[in-house]
Amino acid sequence: MSETISDTFGEDNIETQTSLIREYTPIAKDGLWNNNPILVQMLGLCPLLAVSNSVINALGLGLATIAVLILSNMCISLIRNIVRPEIRLPVFVIIIASVVTAIELVMHAYFHELYLILGIFIPLIVTNCSIIARAEAFASRNTFGKAAFDGLMMGLGFTLVLVVLGAMRELIGLGTLFANAHIMFGEGMQWLTITVIPDYHGFLLAILPPGAFMGLAFLLALKNYISLKQKAAKKRQKSPLPETV
């Protein structure tokens, strides 16, 4: 898979605007949909399932992950020509670990409650498989700008799924959205919390571990459904046309 990606985005840079768009749109599409780290690559599942029990938690970890992805992709892209294959993995891991720790410290300082809630899953961003996968598959083969953009897009793709799953679970489990908004946006933002279903019984399954698995299953099924529909539509479009080689 990695090979095909790097093939698509070769090193030749003609800095015209159209070529920029041509080069960067697929990266964005890949990150958000076609090669989404969760929906397609099935990587980074641990944090996804562990912290998606509310929107705010999801958002918090998602943002941290985006930051790590961008920074680590940038660093790795910079050093990509120096590293020898046998220590490639350890070097990447060290870089990622450094970035993560730095971000962890910042969160510890400025988003204390969020830091406490996310707990072990912040340092565990290091082993979030999608980060090392991006380092290997993309950053180590692409230019700085593209690597950074890829980091952003992959991170966004990850966060998007994380937040959607968080919203799903929070809504079904507790009937609210954005509960505890203050731990992220400060005390003034309590109002953000929306009680969508008043007097809701609460469906605990959604909040508990099994609910995380099942929620993701339904998200994936939805993605499959959309992809299938797209494919069917494409086929329908294609078939009346004569075969051109």
Partner 1 sequence: MLWGILALIALAAFFGLLLGLAAIVFKVESSPVVEQIDALLPQTQCGQCSFAGCRPYAEAIAAGEAPINLCPPGGEKTVQALADLLDVDVLPLEEDEVLEGPVVAVIIEDTCIGCTLCIQACPVDAIVGAAKQMHTVIESECTGCELCVAPCPVDCIEMIPVKKTISNWRWPEPQYDVNNEQAANIFTTIEKVLAESTHP
Partner 2 sequence: MFVAQSSPFLKPALSVSKMMLVVTLALIPGIITSTWVFGFGVLVNIVLAIIFALGFEALMLYLRKRPIKVYLNDKSALLTAVLLGLALPPLAPWWLTLVGIFFAIVIAKHLYGGLGYNPFNPAMAAYAILLISFPAEMTTLWPSPSMLAGHESVNFLQTLNFQLFNQLPPSVTLDAISYATPLDVVRTSVINGLASISEIEETGKTFGMLGGLGTEWVNLAFLAGGLFLLKKGVIQWHIPLSLLATLGFFSLLFGSFELDSNPSPLFQLFSGATMLGAFFIATDPVTAATTPKGRIIYGAGIGLLIYIIRTWGGYPDAIAFSVLIMNMCVPMLDYYTQPRVYGHNDRDQQP
Partner 3 sequence: MSKEHRAMNPSKPQSIDKNTLIRNMIISAALLAGFGGLGTTLVVGTFELTKDQIEASEEANLLKNLNNILPASIYNNDLLSTHIKVPADSLLGSDKPVNVYQAWMDKTPVAVAFPVIAPDGYNGDIHLLIAIKASGEISGVRVIAHKETPGLGDKIDINKNDWILSFNGKSIANPAQKLWRVKKDGGVFDQFTGATITPRAVVKAVYRALDYYNANRRRLFLDQENLNKYYHAAMRGKDSKE
Binding residues for partner 3, rule: CB under 8 A, are 1-3, 41, 43, 79, 82-87, 90-91, 94-95, 97-99, 101-102, 105-106, 108-110, 112-113, 116, 133, 136-137, 202, 204, 207-208
- Which residues fall within 8 angstroms of residue 35, CB to CB, at 6 or more apart? 1, 5, 41
Of 122 and 168, nearer to partner 2 (C-beta) is 168
Listed residue (165, 140, 166, 151) closest to 30, CA to CA: 151
Residue in the structure block whose two tokens are 């599942």: 45
Q: Which residue is nearest to ligand FES (CB)?
A: 46
Q: Which residues bind partner 2 (CB under 8 A)?
A: 201, 203-205, 208, 210, 214
Alpha-carbon distance of 168 to 153, in angstroms, equals 22
Of 83 and 189, nearer to partner 1 (C-beta) is 83
- Identify what 45 binds: partner 3, ligand FES, partner 1, none; CB under 5 to 8 Å per kind: ligand FES
Label each residue of 56-94 as H, E or C. HHHHHHHHHHHHHHHHHHHHHHHHCCCCCHHHHHHHHHH
Of 23 and 96, nearer to partner 3 (C-beta) is 96
Touching ligand FES, residues 38-97 (CB under 6 A): 43-46
Helices (H), 180-208: 182-185, 204-207
First to last CA, the chain: 26
Residue 106, amino acid: V
Measured from the CB of residue 130, what is the shortest distance to partner 1 in angstroms? 18
Of 44 and 166, nearer to ligand FES (C-beta) is 44
Q: Tell me which of 35, 128, 142, 180 binds ligand FES, using CB under 6 A.
A: 128
